[in-house]
Structure 1
Amino acid sequence: MKNVMKKLKFKLKNVSFLLMLLNICLVNAQVYPLKKIVVIDPGHGGIDPGALGLHRQEKDITLDIALELKKWNNMFFKNELDLYLTRDSDTLISLADRRKLASALKADAFISIHCNSAHKGARGIEIFTTKKTGQQTTVSQNLAQSILDEFRLQLGFLSRGIKKARYSVLSQSFNQYPAILIETGFISSEDESMYLADKKHIQAVALAILMGIKNHLNLKL
């Protein structure tokens, strides 16, 4: 009887954890016969540090976000997305090779992750699509809006909107695959630089991007 009571007490203490696991199992019981292919592109790398923030370099922040995003997809969503990283270490990959990977995989989404830098008063997130117009223009805009909404509503980031630019990494996407470039915050400002220097905040940013992707692709949570 004593052993039974100990087991019951242990179970009661862990009820929240068990309920969380049950919920995750129910979510992942869904059948996804055709996984969506998503290419995550951590900007810069190797000898190209990107922007030099007040606390960290851009190349390190973007890689950390990408790696955390992959962990979220694995840990909580059982690799529901077929996720590819253009780099998973401090390596410089050419812009052409980043584009080629997305094209070869026939990606359902391509997300290039970056950090902004300007005067110290600049803040917020902005997302870019290519200036070229094609079959994927509207889809890219919708993907950008979905992720922007997650940053604004869940993380409280100031939205600087969706913009168009002639970024090389996006240049071939307009007729092939939806593609966006995210500027996750200004590492030239003290508050956003500090925010992106904290691992828990990196994890939150990664989750916001992942949820935005999932919402855009209409995948059930």
Structure 2
Amino acid sequence: MVKAFKHPLLCQRWQGVFVVFIALMLLPGVTVAQKGSKIRTVIIDPGHGGKDPGALGKRSKEKDVVLDVALKTGQYIKQNLPDVKVIYTRSKDEFIELHRRASIANENNADVFISIHCNASKSTDVYGAETFVMGEHKNQANLEVAKLENNAILFEENADDEYGGFDPNSNAAYIALSLVQSEYKQQSLSLAQKVQTQFTERVGRKDRSVQQAGFLVLYRTAMPSILVELGFLTNPKEEAFLKSEEGQVYLASAIYRAFKEFKTEFERDNSSPVKLTPEEEEILAPGGRQNVKAPEPQVKKPEPKEAVRKATPKKNMLEYKVQFATFPHEISLTDKRFKDIPVLWSYLHNGIYKYTSGNFSTLNEAVNHQSLLRKQGYADAFVVIFSEGKRITLDEAKIIEKQQLNK
């Protein structure tokens, strides 16, 4: 059994941990739709490796099984989708830090991230496949899976500094992590469901469905990302299947087919700019995403936005806002659809107009406001951080936070 961190998640560090986790969703990068109409690069991430064996069966180790399946998956993609570049986070038995795996994806401007794992349980009767996306765990079982996979950071030398004191065995730590909301969540859910469909219909695996939980390997990826649990090594029958050449070929083929279907749908839906005309603007409205008829564009001078902006913040001060909608074209802040949104503000980011509500000096205030917006029906609302009017990256937020703490 690997030992946990010697120090607990201390109360006085709680605010700092929250800031770090919320800032993590502000890494450089844009959604696949903003990159273009093609999926060109996929990252395949075999979990664990080297000194980290992962889950253990009686005759197998997770790190070995997932590497075999990952390499087979990549080979299927290379052979059948020559326009897609396949990058592995590891292609041999070596230890790669969780944060480094996400960095590989971001640095290569990847369009999709697929992390492959095997599960474990105290009961040898539990079996089946499930696929996770980044989100809030809905039950204890999902939390335990996240803990199992996140324990990989205990093999890292600088884990305390890299993850802000995050303890993968602390229930409280996952409260902060659950606040991370991805702009790619819907796309991730779509890919995850396709994987599960392939697993159940083509490979005959028990469907443990699409799940959500706080995985450290997913929360820094700036693209649609999923974590696949192929099955339970602690179940003798399932372990035999996962370890077999036939089982690995079937599973790799299933992941490939799901990826291919996701790619085909995405490129079909984004092949024409007509999808993003002013007549078909998309907004996060009560009840979820829906297409809302936008008013016809009128030729007039841009309306000043200073009335809805607060005073320019002091240098190196962080601003917290809650983002709730995006548009490919600018929409007036006085539009009737925004009438119930307080302290409305918009900004242009990577060619997309994004709309926020609120302007707070502390994270707690922003989180409370986020909760209110979600109760009103804006289920995907999430906190974004600005400094001097500019949306900032994780590294920039860390620097500013340290400067504030040292004053």
TM-score by length of 2: 0.44
Alignment equivalent of 1:102, drawn from 105, 117, 141: 105
Alignment equivalent of 1:206, drawn from 252, 264, 286: 252
CA 78–36 in structure 1, closer or farther in 2 if over 3 Å, else same: closer
SS in 2 for 1:169: coil
CA shift at 1:108, angstroms? Answer: 1.4
**Structure 2 matches for 1:36-75, cutoff 5 A?**
36-75=40-79
**Structure 2 matches for 1:1-221, cutoff 5 A?**
36-75=40-79, 77=80, 79-118=82-121, 119-131=123-135, 132-173=180-221, 176-218=222-264
For residues 246 and 98 of structure 2, the distance between their equivalents in structure 1, rounded to whole angstroms, comes to: 29
Aligned amino acid, residue 38 of structure 1: V
Aligned residue number for residue 28 of structure 1? none
Q: Is the contact made by 2:199 and 2:205 (CA closer than 8 Å) also made in structure 1?
A: yes
For residues 218 and 192 of structure 1, the distance between their equivalents in structure 2, rounded to whole angstroms, comes to: 31
For residues 78 and 134 of structure 1, the distance between their equivalents in structure 2, rounded to whole angstroms, comes to: 27
SS in 1 for 2:217: helix
Q: Is the contact made by 1:35 and 1:82 (CA closer than 8 Å) also made in structure 2?
A: no
For residues 94 and 231 of structure 2, the distance between their equivalents in structure 1, rounded to whole angstroms, comes to: 22
Name whichever structure is richer in helix by fraction: 1
Unmatched runs of 5 consecutive residues or more in structure 2: 1-36, 136-179, 268-407
Q: Is the contact made by 2:56 and 2:62 (CA closer than 8 Å) also made in structure 1?
A: yes
For residues 124 and 95 of structure 2, the distance between their equivalents in structure 1, rounded to whole angstroms, comes to: 28
Q: Is the contact made by 2:78 and 2:86 (CA closer than 8 Å) also made in structure 1?
A: no
Q: Is the contact made by 1:45 and 1:60 (CA closer than 8 Å) also made in structure 2?
A: yes
Aligned amino acid, residue 82 of structure 2: N
SS in 2 for 1:196: helix
Aligned residue number for residue 277 of structure 2? none
1:11-63 Cα shifts (integer Å, max 9, x gaps): xxxxxxxxxxxxxxxxxxxxxx9552110000000000001112210000010
SS in 1 for 2:130: strand
For residues 134 and 46 of structure 1, the distance between their equivalents in structure 2, rounded to whole angstroms, comes to: 30
CA 205–80 in structure 1, closer or farther in 2 if over 3 Å, else same: farther
Greater RCO (Cα-Cα under 8 Å, separation 6 or more): 1
Aligned amino acid, residue 149 of structure 1: T
For residues 158 and 57 of structure 1, the distance between their equivalents in structure 2, rounded to whole angstroms, comes to: 21
For residues 190 and 39 of structure 2, the distance between their equivalents in structure 1, rounded to whole angstroms, comes to: 20
Kindly tell me the number of residue pairs found equivalent between the two proteins.
185
CA shift at 1:200, angstroms? Answer: 1.7
For residues 195 and 171 of structure 1, the distance between their equivalents in structure 2, rounded to whole angstroms, comes to: 30
TM-score by length of 1: 0.79
Q: CA RMSD in A?
A: 1.7
SS in 2 for 1:71: helix
CA shift at 1:78, angstroms? Answer: 5.4
Unmatched runs of 5 consecutive residues or more in structure 1: 1-32
For residues 131 and 207 of structure 2, the distance between their equivalents in structure 1, rounded to whole angstroms, comes to: 9
CA shift at 1:107, angstroms? Answer: 1.6
Greater than 4 Å deviation, 4+ residue runs = none
